[in-house]
Amino acid sequence: MPATADPCGYVVQIESYDRAVVNSSRGGHNYGRDDTGFCLRESS
């Protein structure tokens, strides 16, 4: 994100996966996702 962002609503989304081998099958056993929204306002 630039040092100066336009006043607006934004959403940050993070996803994570593991790459572990479990029962001779790789990946996708543990998965997580989270997001949050925020709003930038004009400075007064």
Cα–Cα separations (whole angstroms), residue 30 to 17, 25, 33, 36, 41? 6, 12, 10, 21, 37
pLDDT interval class at 12 (50, 70, 90): very high
* pLDDT value of position 34: 96
User: What are 8's strand-pairing partners?
Assistant: none
14-33 residue pLDDT tens: 998 877 777 776 666 678 89
Q: What is the tally of structural domains in the chain?
A: 1
Tell me if 11 sits within 8 A of 36, measured CB to CB: yes
**pTM of the model as a whole:** 0.51
Q: Does some domain include residue 3?
A: no
Domain span at 14: 9-39
Question: What 3-state DSSP class applies to 36?
Answer: strand
